[in-house]
């Protein structure tokens, strides 16, 4: 969401940052799991900070969150995939505290959120497909060579994950400045660092940055290590949520856009195109009953 609300978001990336932009969930069916109790209140503080997330013990909290963001989180949507609705779903903010019966997996949390939105906001939606602008991720160089920061993966992460399934242990520490990411992806304002990732996963992540579906049409298969440094459209006012600021490179306010960085650093580019995109259409919604 490219507006002032996006500045100062706390704990949002962990909730919706890695959604599949090509899928739209169905409406919560009757009998779907629901929160035991929930409190909904308007937030008129004017604060730009937003908090959204699930806590241990089944407690869900959303502070100063617009309804549009709540819907996107519940249905795993990018902003361009949500169609319709009155203006107040973006302008009005709400505080929600809800309690489930113990810890629940993320997919059930989303179903619980859908049930809450239907009950308290009278939200009615349906799935549709629209012809929308998209980007194709393609090779930028005539010789097809990748850029200097796109390399075959040093570690076979898929094999490593297969061997490690079922094992427990602390998550790996974030890499030090200048150090590569062994397996996985870290995204922060102006910085995308990945190890052992497929380019289709890069395309999905890029869609969050450019506001369109991005399809991988590079023809490159396998796993890759890459780093992308660019200047975000909106400079953050503080360290990114959950990030260890000393481990992140500083943002160059005069650096390249994400489009230019892709070509110069990875040897890839985004070409405008159109295609069918799954969307969620808001049929009706009401101001909530508050506590």
SS3 state of residue 205: helix
State phi, psi for 62 to the nearest 5 degrees.
-135, 120
Give the start-end residues of each E strand in 70-171.
82-83, 93-99, 124-139, 150-152
State phi, psi for 286 to the nearest 5 degrees.
-130, 155
Q: 10 Å Cβ neighbour count for 39?
A: 13
Q: What pLDDT does residue 189 have?
A: 85
pTM: 0.66
Tens of pLDDT along 194-225? 999 999 999 989 998 999 999 999 999 999 99
Task: Check the CA dihedral 74-75-81-85 and report its sign.
Answer: negative
Q: What is the mean pLDDT of the chain?
A: 81
Tens of pLDDT along 146-197? 999 999 998 888 776 666 544 444 445 555 555 666 788 888 889 899 999 9
């Amino acid at each position: 969401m490219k507006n002032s609300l996006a500045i100062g978001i706390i704990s949002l990336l962990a909730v919706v940052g890695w959604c599949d932009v090509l899928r739209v969930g169905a409406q919560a069916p009757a009998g779907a799991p629901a929160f035991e109790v929930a409190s909904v209140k308007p937030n008129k503080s004017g604060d730009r900070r937003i908090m959204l997330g699930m806590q241990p013990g089944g407690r869900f909290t959303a502070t100063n969150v617009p309804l549009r963001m709540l819907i996107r989180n519940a249905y795993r949507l990018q902003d361009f995939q949500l169609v319709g609705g009155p203006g107040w779903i973006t302008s009005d903010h709400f505080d929600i505290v809800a309690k489930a019966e113990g810890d629940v997996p993320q997919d059930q949390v989303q179903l619980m959120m859908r049930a809450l939105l239907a009950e308290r906001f009278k939200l009615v939606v349906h799935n549709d497909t629209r012809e929308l602008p998209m980007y194709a991720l393609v090779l930028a160089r005539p010789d097809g060579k990748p850029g200097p920061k796109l390399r075959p993966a040093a570690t076979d992460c898929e094999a490593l994950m297969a061997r490690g399934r079922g094992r427990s242990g602390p998550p790996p520490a974030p890499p030090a400045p200048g150090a590569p990411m062994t397996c996985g992806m870290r995204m922060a304002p102006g910085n995308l660092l990945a190890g052992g990732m497929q380019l289709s996963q890069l395309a999905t992540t890029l869609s969050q940055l450019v506001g369109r579906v991005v399809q991988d049409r590079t023809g490159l298969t396998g796993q890759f290590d890459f780093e992308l440094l660019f200047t975000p459209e909106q400079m953050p006012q503080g360290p990114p949520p959950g990030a260890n600021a000393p481990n992140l490179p500083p943002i160059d306010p005069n650096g390249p856009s994400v489009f230019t960085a892709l070509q110069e650093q990875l040897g890839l580019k985004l070409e405008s195109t159109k295609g069918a995109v799954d969307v969620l259409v808001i049929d009706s919604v009401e101001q909530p009953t508050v506590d």
